[in-house]
Amino acid sequence: MSDYLIKLAQRDTSIIEQSHEETEQTGKNATTDYRYVGKDPNNYVCLKSEGTCSEDELYRIVGVIPTEGEDGAYKNRVKLIKASEYVGESALDGAITLSKKGYKWSETSSNVWENATLNTEKLNQEYWESINEYQNYIDKVKWYLNETDSGNITTIYKNERGGTKYFLKEIGLIYLSDYGYATNGGSNDSRDKCISYDINWGWHANANHLECSENNWLALKGDYWFITSAPNNKVWTHSYQNAWYVVPSYILGIRPSFYLKTEVTYLSGTGEKQNPFHFSL
């Protein structure tokens, strides 16, 4: 599947080859990846190998990203995110600070992902059990957990992979940098300019850079968590087509993310929502 998408990038302008500087954790092993960009690219995937896809089985491709697996080897792995928010049996209703339904990142004031209830109870227990046989598609990989303050996308990417913090597991959330690299810019601000700006494209002083979020398929209207933490026990979120950080006890939507096993092969489909990619082991 990863080979298919890399070849597809030669004729699909919504797949961008993205270069990175070496980082403290990844070194030279992850300096080039391929990411879907723009307002609504054809990057839909159905977990079923064939047949009609339900909304619950629909995902979108973040990109092909070299990622370290459980065996320590870096491989080009296809990264997915759930196309809609995941709402499990324990989702909450009521008058909440930012959202009327969702999950806390953590039941405590700590932004340590290893201990976060969103990680241990919701994603890698409740959600993991809910996907049943589709567990076979998913690889156990490193999720980088170093915090970052506000900054441009390149700096955020390096900060996330700095230090020594990581977590080896199947299910996670997308990084703040994933959100940033999904922009395709616009007529006033090119993609390169958007990447060079502070991530808060639509916030206060940067309100003139709204094209950066408007032409970004990960800038949805809903509120959802990132895996990336921030200083002072805060966590990054997407809200109102903008990125900012809040305390982990807020209740927001979640969109589970994971990496496909490298044995997964492309079967059919063109990536549109009505004709998503299908694959199998």
Q: How many CB atoms lie within 10 A of CB 272?
A: 13
Q: What percent of the chain has pLDDT over 70?
A: 94
Query: What pLDDT digit, counting tens, does each position of 225-264 carry?
Result: 999 999 999 999 998 788 999 999 998 999 999 999 999 9
State both tokens at 270: 């063109």
Enumerate the β-bridge partners of residue 168.
Answer: 142
State both tokens at 223: 């509120």
Query: What pLDDT digit, counting tens, does each position of 130-161 carry?
Result: 999 999 999 999 999 999 999 999 999 999 99
Q: State the Cα–Cα distance between residues 124 and 118, nearest whole angstrom.
A: 8
Stretch 96-103: mean pLDDT: 58
pTM: 0.94
Residue 254 has phi, psi (to 5 degrees) of -130, 145
Q: Are 136 and 149 in contact (CB under 8 A)?
A: no
Q: State the Cα–Cα distance between residues 139 and 77, nearest whole angstrom.
A: 9
Task: Tell how strand 277-280 and strand 15-19 pair up.
Answer: unpaired
Distances (CA, A) of 201 to 180, 195, 205: 10, 10, 9
Query: What pLDDT digit, counting tens, does each position of 4-16 carry?
Result: 999 999 999 999 9
Distances (CA, A) of 58 to 47, 54, 73, 149, 273: 7, 7, 29, 32, 8
Position 95 scores a pLDDT of 42
